[in-house]
C-alpha cells in the first residue's frame, strides 16, 4: 500500500511531462513563451499604457512560474525514475542471490542460460513468448493453452490428433 501514492505520483508526473513535451501550437503556449510583444498588447481596445505594462508583467510572471514548475517536475520525475531503476536492480540482485543459494552455481548458470533463451538479456524490453507450434501453445499449429485435466502432459506418440 505504500507504493500506491508513489505510483500515482509517477503517473501524474509522466502525464504532465508528456503534455509539456507536445510541440508549441498544438497544446502549448504560443511561440515566444506566451508573452505577447508590447506591439500586440497595444492593439487591445481601451488598454492604457500602464495596463499594458502590468499585463505584460503578469504574463511574464506566469511564464516564469510555468517554466519553473516544468523544471521542478522534470527533476522530480527523473529522481523517481532513478529510484525505480535502483529498486528494480535491488530486487533482481536479491532474486539472483536466492536462486544461486537454492540452485548452486551450476544450477544457477543453467537457469541463467534458460532464462536468456526465453527472455533475452536484461534491459532488452519485453519479448513475445516463444511458439514452437506444439499442442497447447498459442500460435499457428497449437490450439491455445491447455486448461483442465491433462494440461501440461505430453500427448502420446501414436496420438492421431498429432498428425
User: Would 71 be classed as within a structural domain?
Assistant: yes
Is the predicted pLDDT of residue 146 greater than 50, yes or no? Answer: no
d(CA 48, CA 39): 13
Q: Three cell numbers at 53?
A: 505594462
Task: HSE, CB side, 13 Å, CA atoms: give it for residue 25.
Answer: 2
User: Would 143 be classed as within a structural domain?
Assistant: no
User: Would 73 be classed as within a structural domain?
Assistant: yes
Q: What is the pTM of this model?
A: 0.42
Instruction: Say how many domains are in the chain.
Output: 1
Q: For 68-119, write each residue's pLDDT tens digit.
A: 999 999 999 999 999 999 999 999 999 999 999 999 999 999 999 999 998 8
d(CA 123, CA 111): 18
The range of the structural domain enclosing residue 110 comes to 63-119
Q: For 27-80, write each residue's pLDDT tens digit.
A: 444 444 678 888 888 888 998 999 999 999 999 999 999 999 999 999 999 999
User: Would 89 be classed as within a structural domain?
Assistant: yes
User: Would 139 be classed as within a structural domain?
Assistant: no
Amino acid at each position: 500500500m505504500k507504493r500506491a501514492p508513489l505510483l500515482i505520483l509517477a503517473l501524474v508526473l509522466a502525464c504532465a511531462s508528456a503534455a509539456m513535451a507536445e510541440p508549441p501550437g498544438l497544446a502549448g503556449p504560443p511561440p515566444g513563451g506566451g508573452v505577447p510583444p508590447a506591439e500586440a498588447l497595444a492593439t487591445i481596445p481601451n488598454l492604457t499604457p500602464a495596463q499594458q505594462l502590468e499585463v505584460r508583467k503578469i504574463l511574464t510572471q506566469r511564464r516564469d512560474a510555468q517554466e519553473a514548475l516544468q523544471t521542478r517536475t522534470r527533476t522530480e520525475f527523473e529522481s523517481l525514475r532513478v529510484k525505480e531503476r535502483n529498486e528494480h536492480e535491488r530486487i533482481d540482485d536479491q532474486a539472483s542471490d536466492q536462486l544461486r543459494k537454492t540452485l548452486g552455481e551450476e544450477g544457477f548458470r543453467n537457469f541463467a542460460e534458460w532464462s536468456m533463451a526465453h527472455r533475452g538479456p536484461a534491459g532488452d524490453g519485453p519479448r513475445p513468448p516463444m511458439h514452437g507450434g506444439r499442442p497447447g501453445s498459442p500460435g499457428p499449429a497449437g490450439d491455445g493453452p491447455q486448461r483442465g485435466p491433462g494440461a501440461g502432459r505430453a500427448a502420446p506418440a501414436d496420438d492421431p490428433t498429432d498428425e
